[in-house]
Amino acid sequence: MKKTKDSPNVIFILIDALRPKNLGCYGYKRETSPNIDFLAKNGVLFENAFSTNNATEKVFVSITAGRHILLKDSRDFILNKEEIKSFLEARGKFLGEILKDNGYKTYCLKEIYGWQKKGFDFFYSAGESAESKGRGFWNSLQKNQKFRDFSRTIAHHFPKKISDEIKARYGRTNGKEATEDAIKIIKNSAEKKEKFFMLVYYNDTHIPYNPKEATGKFRAEEKSKNFFEEIKDRGYNPMLVDFWKGAFSRDSSIADIIARYDSAILYDDCLIGKIIDELKKTNLLKNTLLFIFSDHGESLYEHGIYFDHHGLYDSCMRIPLIISGKGFPKKKKIKSFVQHEDFVPTVLDMAGIPYDSLDFDGKSLLPVLRKKQKTRDSIFMEEGDKSKKRAIRTEKYKYIDASSEEDAFCKYCNKIHGGVIELYDLKKDPLEKENLAEKKRTILASLKKRMEERIKLYKKINEQRRIKNKISGIV
C-alpha cells in the first residue's frame, strides 16, 4: 500500500436529475441552493459541463471510471453484459480501486450492481445483488427499481391513505439516509485519521420529486393551466399518463410541479449543508476535495418532454458542476467544456497518483484551471433507452441523429422529438426550437463527419487498451 500523506479526502455528491438552471449559483430566481451556492463561492463553477449519456447507470461509469461507454445495438438504461465485458477487457478500472490501492478507505452511498462494487469498502446493494436476495423474496422485490416504479404508477388507484403510503415508501427518497451515513463516515475517518473517498447519492430531485419534508417549500406564484388538461389529446403514452397521475396530484399545473422540483432541490441542498457542517466540525473541510454535480439534467416541459431526462437537448444534457476544496481556487467560473469522464484524472492529479492517460477518455481539469486551456472543442453525447440518438455539440451548433425513424421514436412519450436528423444554431436559438437540418446542409454534413470521427477514435483507443491488457496479461 502506498502512502498518501498530503493527498486530500475526496467526496463526490451526485444529485440525480439536477439541472443547473434551477440553482441559485447558475442564476435561478428562487433560492433553491444556499449551501451549493456557498461552495460555488468557495470553489470553481463550471458553466459548460455536460453529460455523455442520459441514463444514470451509464453515466455512473463515466463518473467512476473516466470512460465514455459507447452505445451498442441494444436499448437499455443499464450496461449490458457485452458492454461490461468490453469495459473490463479494455483495462477499465474504477476510481475506488485506484484510491484503495493508494491507502484510501472507499465508500459508495448509492445502490450499485455487482460488477461496480470493485474497490468500495462499503456500498449499498442494488436489488439484483446476492446480498438482498439473501434477505428473502419480498425484501428483494421491494428493492427492485422496476417494482418500485410500477407501485408508484398504480398508486393512485388506491384510497388516498394507501396511495400516500406507497408514494412515500417507493418515492426514491434516500437522501436523508445517505447523509446520516456520510456524517458517520466523516466522524469516523476524522477519529481514525483515515483518508477517504466517498460517493454520496441523492435522488430526491428525480421524478416524482417527493421527499415528504420538502414538499411545499416553494409554491407556484400564480394559477396556470392544469397539467393533465395540457397534455390531453396530445398522443402521450397512456401508461405514462397513468404514471404521472400516480406521481402528481390531479390539480397540478406545470408550475406547481416545477415548484415541487425546486423544493426537492432545497431539501438536498440542506442535506449538503449538514455534510459541510460535519466537515467543518471535524476540521476536514480544508483537506477535502468536494465535487457537486448531477448525472444529467431534467426536461421539465422543454421539447414536450415532461419531468424526465431523455432527449439530447441542453435541458437534459447540461449538468451543474462545482469543485471546491484543497488546491482549488475560489470564486472562479470556467467556460471550457467539461464532461464526467474528466473527474477521475482530475482527482488522481490532485492526489498525486500517477496514471496512464490511455486509460481514460477524460482529461484532468487542472491545466484548464491554471492555463485557461480548453479540454475539448466539442461534446459527444448519446442516448439508447427511450430513443436511440447521438449528438455532437460545439459552442455554436448541435447536430443530433438517429439511424432510422424507429430509433428516433421515443417509446416513453409515444412520438418523435425534433426529427430523425436535427441541427440547431445554439447562439441564435439556445432553446433548440428551430431544426435547421434542411436549411444548412453543409454544416450538417461537417458535424456528422466530426461525430463519426469521434466514434472511430473511441473505438481505436479501446482497441489499443485491449492490446495493452493482453500484453500485460502475457508479461
- Give the binding site for Zn ion (CB under 5 A): 16, 56, 295, 305, 410, 412-413
- Least separation in angstroms between residue 123's CB and Zn ion is 18
Of 196 and 306, CB closest to Zn ion:
306
Q: What is the DSSP string of 48-80?
A: EEE-SBSSHHHHHHHHHH-------SS--SS--
Q: 10 Å Cβ neighbour count for 329?
A: 13
Q: Which residues contact 99 (CB under 8 A, 6 or more apart)?
A: 10, 106, 119, 197, 347, 351, 353
Shortest distance, CB of residue 446 to Zn ion, whole angstroms?
A: 28
Of 423, 424, 413, 334, nearest to 370 by C-alpha is: 334
Q: How far is CA 422 from CA 51, 221, 291, in A?
A: 19, 35, 33
Helix %, strand %, coil % for the chain, to 5? 45, 15, 40
Strand partners, 123: 108
Q: Which is nearer to Zn ion, 45 or 410 (CB)?
A: 410
Cβ neighbours of residue 378 under 8 Å, at least 6 residues apart?
Answer: 337, 392, 393, 394, 450, 454
Q: Which helix (H) or strand (E) holds 113?
A: none
Minimum distance between the CB of residue 147 and Zn ion, rounded to whole angstroms? Answer: 18
Report in angstroms how near the CB of residue 146 gets to Zn ion at its nearest.
Answer: 15
Phi, psi angles (nearest 5°) of residue 401 = -140, 160
Closest distance of CB 318 from Zn ion, Å:
14
Q: Kindly tell me which of 70 and 410 has the beta carbon lying closer to Zn ion.
A: 410
Estimate the crossing angle of helix 175-192 against helix 254-281, to 10 degrees.
10
Q: How far is the CB of 16 from Zn ion (least distance, A)?
A: 4
Q: How far is the CB of 118 from Zn ion (least distance, A)?
A: 22
Of 275, 293, 71, 76, the residue nearest 183 (C-alpha): 275
- CA R_g for the chain: 22
User: Residue 169's closest CA among 156, 182, 155, 157?
Assistant: 155
Grid cell in block for residue 75 = 436499448
Neighbouring C-beta atoms of residue 446, cutoff 10 Å: 13
Q: How far is the CB of 200 from Zn ion (least distance, A)?
A: 15
Please say which residue, 10 or 413, places its beta carbon nearer to Zn ion.
413
Nearer CB in complex with Zn ion: 100/390: 390
Minimum separation from the CB atom of position 410 to Zn ion (A):
3
Q: Which is nearer to Zn ion, 16 or 268 (CB)?
A: 16
CB of 413 to Zn ion, least distance (A): 3
Closer to Zn ion by Cβ: residue 195 or 309? 309
Which set of grid coordinates corresponds to residue 116? 461496480
Q: Which is nearer to Zn ion, 141 or 240 (CB)?
A: 240
Contact of 272 with 292, CB cutoff 8 Å: yes
Of 120 and 409, CB closest to Zn ion = 409
Q: Which is nearer to Zn ion, 390 or 465 (CB)?
A: 390
Give 237-241 contacts, CB < 8 A, sequence gap 24+.
237/411, 237/412, 237/413, 237/414, 239/153, 240/412, 240/413, 240/414
Peptide bond into 208 cis (omega under 30): yes
Quick one: 305 or 408, whose CB is closer to Zn ion? 305
Residue 360 Cβ, how far from Zn ion at the closest point, in Å? 22
Q: Which residue has the cell 388516498?
A: 160
